[in-house]
Structure 1
Amino acid sequence: MSELLEVRGVTKRFGTLQALGGVDVTVRAGTFHGLIGPNGSGKSTLLKAIAGAHLPSSGTVHFGGTDITNATPYERARLGLSLKFQITAVLPELSVYDNVLLALQAEQGVWALIRSRSRTRMRGEVMHALERFRLADRADELAGALSHGEQQWLEIAMALAPKPQLLLLDEPTGGMSPEERRVTGELLMPIKSTCALVIVEHDLDFIRDICDVLTVLDQGKVLDSGTVDQIQQSAKVQQVYTTRV
């Protein structure tokens, strides 16, 4: 499997606070990669540095062989990188269908949208995205009528609709019931053949079930990285997080 994302020596400072202190992470195509660690360890900051929401203070980020260290979020999206933040960002007053349609239309230019009949032309793509996340029968309902878990699934469907090569998820199961978390794992697994995943998650049972590789962050630095079994047996991790992993 080829290296899809390469983060090398990334630091991030906010004034006198150093949130990231020289982080190295490699994500291979066709894998699910989890970022774990306590609050304040730098997980979400690293995810935002990859997505372009924060630019690194130093270090580099390469995606698909292209240097995206200083690229805009839009430029990264055009290259095939997609992000779902922790806070749900669906449009509650629009239908479930139209939320996904807008995600697909975002790939088009203004002139194409003016001339487009994409509501009809893209119906197959929209319905496929909804079917993958068990929302096809809710297509005509307002997104605001969905449960919290269903809104999270809708936003993941929106993030996947443009067919990215890499999806970044920031605590996608936050606020979900145990059953919704279980189903979320089931719904994500089929995307592995076409889209790699980097996920920040506090639910260690969930992340162990779906991830191939885990990177443990502590105080803005990589404590250890490896397979789930390797991390569970890591002496460094056990010393610091005996009850966490």
Structure 2
Amino acid sequence: MALLQIRGVSKSFRTLRALESVDVDVQAGTFHGLIGPNGSGKSTLLKAIAGAHFADGGTIVFDGHDITRATPYERARLGLSLKFQITAVLPELSVYDNVLLAIQSGESLMRLLLSSSRRALDGEVTALLERFRLIDRADDLAAELSHGQQQWLEIAMALALRPKLLLLDEPTGGMSPEERRVTGTLLAPIKAHCTLIIVEHDLHFIRDICDHLTVLDQGRVLDHGDVETIQRSPKVQQVFTTRV
């Protein structure tokens, strides 16, 4: 059984039909890319999975649980984490404290009231900062980081609660070519413990890190398969030639 099963999901915004009967399976331990022209429904589908808005029809099953109408909090408790396109770090806090707070969000109220978790969590915070090449900036304010580093910090925060599934919406947007390359390198090791769904416009980046791709066009699934299958698809080639 797939870790995530999406069946017949549709979503409308007044007269705009953003998603139409979308079916997607995401297997555990894989990186799954969502690609397509602007306005094809990629981010809408990601938000429907995360609970940022509810689908009008269809079902979403995550790790055996029907989450179609679950709140974002309930989905997070089941092991789902989301990083939106717009960076949402806390700029007036240190890089260290941003990650610490992300981890503490899963702590019990008693431990937080007793302030007993900061010291105990230091090893986890440090490990995440080292993994995302931010350990040298630990004491700096998050606002002082470059755009790319802020993106890495937010990915680290999204991974702080050890999710089973991480959703990334255009994580390399605004990055330099070198930052995009490094981002792929930083993401690769998480496959051992976390499945990834990624929306991305940089086709070279997504091709290099993803195992499977789903191509959306005008709210519908145009094609799906491994990277080589999608690269050979005449339907996909036509859409990216005429509409991207």
State the TM-score, normalized to the length of structure 2: 0.97
Map 1:25-64 → 2, pairs under 5 A: 25-64=24-63
Q: Shift of residue 244 of structure 1?
A: 7.9
The code of the aligned residue for 1:176 comes to: M
Cα distance per residue 1:71-123 (max 9 Å; x no partner): 01111011000000000000111000000001001112433311232111100
Cα distance per residue 1:54-78 (max 9 Å; x no partner): 1000000000010000001111011
Against the structure 1 CA distance between its residues 244 and 187, is the aligned structure 2 distance closer, same or farther, given a 3 Å change threshold? farther
Contact 2:37 2:239 in 1 (8 A): no
Give 3-state SS (helix, strand or coil) of 2:49's partner. helix
Identify the residue that residue 124 of structure 1 maps to in structure 2.
123
Identify the residue that residue 178 of structure 1 maps to in structure 2.
177
Identify the residue that residue 157 of structure 1 maps to in structure 2.
156
Q: What are structure 2's unaligned runs of at least 5 residues?
A: none
The code of the aligned residue for 1:124 comes to: G
Contact 2:111 2:117 in 1 (8 A): no
Aligned length: 244
The code of the aligned residue for 2:20 comes to: G
2-structure distance, mates of 1:100, 1:196? 20
State the TM-score, normalized to the length of structure 1: 0.97
Contact 2:22 2:220 in 1 (8 A): yes
1-structure distance, mates of 2:129, 2:5? 31
1-structure distance, mates of 2:239, 2:156? 36
Q: Shift of residue 24 of structure 1?
A: 0.5
Runs of 4+ in structure 1 displaced over 6 angstroms? none
The code of the aligned residue for 2:113 comes to: I
Identify the residue that residue 219 of structure 1 maps to in structure 2.
218
Q: Give yes or no for the alignment of 1:9 onto 2:8.
A: yes
Cα distance per residue 1:167-196 (max 9 Å; x no partner): 000000000000000000000000001001
Identify the residue that residue 100 of structure 1 maps to in structure 2.
99
CA-atom RMSD in angstroms: 1.2
The code of the aligned residue for 2:232 comes to: Q
Identify the residue that residue 69 of structure 1 maps to in structure 2.
68
Against the structure 1 CA distance between its residues 244 and 190, is the aligned structure 2 distance closer, same or farther, given a 3 Å change threshold? farther
The code of the aligned residue for 1:174 comes to: G
Identify the residue that residue 191 of structure 1 maps to in structure 2.
190
The code of the aligned residue for 1:203 comes to: D
Identify the residue that residue 230 of structure 1 maps to in structure 2.
229
Contact 2:164 2:193 in 1 (8 A): yes
Give 3-state SS (helix, strand or coil) of 1:174's partner. coil
Give 3-state SS (helix, strand or coil) of 1:162's partner. coil
Against the structure 1 CA distance between its residues 123 and 244, is the aligned structure 2 distance closer, same or farther, given a 3 Å change threshold? farther
The code of the aligned residue for 1:160 comes to: L
2-structure distance, mates of 1:129, 1:13? 38
2-structure distance, mates of 1:239, 1:170? 24
Give 3-state SS (helix, strand or coil) of 1:13's partner. strand
Q: What are structure 1's unaligned runs of at least 5 residues?
A: none
The code of the aligned residue for 1:73 comes to: P
Identify the residue that residue 137 of structure 2 maps to in structure 1.
138
Give 3-state SS (helix, strand or coil) of 1:241's partner. helix
1-structure distance, mates of 2:75, 2:45? 15
